[in-house]
Structure 1
């Protein structure tokens, strides 16, 4: 699960907790880039192993969820108004994830999102990940950092 906002994200693997300079939108975008990079890296690792798993990525577009009702001040008000005026329903936003989870012929690394303007709303379709999300070197580094932080190593599955 990622977001079209992954395209605006930047990863600092030396400060994954955002202890130096936190801003909500930058942190959210970076977390969604990390999700996309991780999913793409998982797909690469699956292809080079005998794993029966398929890593497929999806994003809901701009959906009017409770996330839009959070926040304070002018940003919170803007999010609530924007969510009501421009976002699609949570049910519509769930369609890309449902498609990604149930379509049997999707290849690993496939990315599904809404087909509407800017990928913000609509029906599920294949969309392109950003160049950063597809970067194998960034994928390798994020994977190694994830293993380091969690203490869980990658093991290929035997079929």
Structure 2
């Protein structure tokens, strides 16, 4: 496909079931809307069910709502159980919801808010739903990261919850780096099954509500210069949609805007930071995440596939 990939390139989605987190606004809304318009049965997994119903009413197609609060593992388990009771399969799980630059605070389970919401909540949800995906050929788990994964890039195992000190940008960067490491390790574990793949995407700089917690010194310039340095949520959702639906996409691939510095533009394959491909750190993060959430993924065959220490590339 050419560089100008758009929603017109999305294959017919009739017969496919998609679950999109954080789908009542912004990138998630645009992702869910496009999938529904192409025929998918879409579940908006959102914290505020009322806002989810309002969003669903603005979409065309088979769209339903499931309450999900990623800041609470009890809510994640309840939502997963509800989805399992009403769905017999999931073709597409889009881990889109997230928070950014929040003041220091914790989730209901005591996790730092950004790490707990962006990574651990989605880790748990994926693990609890994965056995609805493994029997489905062509199913995908798509996790939305950010160019912010390069900010002071590290998984701070000595202080994952930022109890000793807190920097909102660095904590956000850790959570987005964790999203990528989760994707790459998940793909390694999925490969022996041969049915489900894990991909990742980032939206570049998109004009959404995500920056509402940014410090004023950053938020004001973002507002003033937004027309120059941001793109619409509909454009920002395209990398996610390509990672979710492009027949040529491979497990372990990462999509982002094709313009300069990946800030805006039509989606293409991109490369994440060198740190994100460190296999030993991915595996350590996985073990810690299982311990913190109490969620163990469905077992895969013992042999491991050789996921490259860099992005998979299509011919």
Same fold by TM (over 0.5)?
A: yes
Count residues with an aligned counterpart.
Answer: 157
- Equivalent residues of 1:51, 1:156 under 8 A apart: no
Q: From the superposition, tell whether residues 94 and 36 of structure 1 become closer, same or farther in structure 2 (CA, over 3 Å).
A: same
Matches within 5 A, 1:88-99: 88-99=231-242
SS at match of 1:36: helix
Residues 50 and 156 of structure 1 are in contact (CA less than 8 Å); yes or no, is this contact kept in structure 2? no
- Which piece of structure 1 moves more, 16-25 or 65-74? 65-74
- 1:150 and 2:293 are equivalent in the alignment: yes
- Assess if the C-alpha contact under 8 Å between 1:10 and 1:30 holds in 2: yes
State the 1:150 CA deviation: 0.8
Contact 1:93 1:121 in 2 (8 A): yes
Tell me the equivalent position of 2:179. 35
Are positions 1:26 and 2:151 aligned together?
A: no
Structure 2: 5+ residue runs without aligned partners? 1-143, 302-315
Of the three residues 265, 273, 276, the one matched with 1:122 is: 265
> Which has more radius of gyration?
2
TM (norm. structure 2) is 0.47
Cα distance in 2 between the residues matched to 1:147 and 1:59: 25
- The answer to whether the Cα contact below 8 Å between 1:52 and 1:157 also exists between their aligned partners in 2 is no
Structure number with the higher strand fraction is 2
* Bigger mean CA deviation after superposition, 13-22 or 54-63: 13-22
Deviation at 1:99, TM superposition (A): 0.7
Using CA pairs below 8 Å that are at least 6 residues apart, which structure has the higher relative contact order? Answer: 1
TM-score (norm 1): 0.90
Task: List alignment gaps of at least 5 residues for structure 1.
Answer: none
Distance 1:31 1:82, change over 3 A: farther
CA offset digits 1:18-48 (Å, max 9, x no partner)? 111111111111111010111111111112x
Structure with the bigger percentage of helix: 1
Are the equivalent residues in 2 in contact too, given 1:69–1:80 (CA < 8 A)?
A: no
* 1:80 alignment counterpart: 223
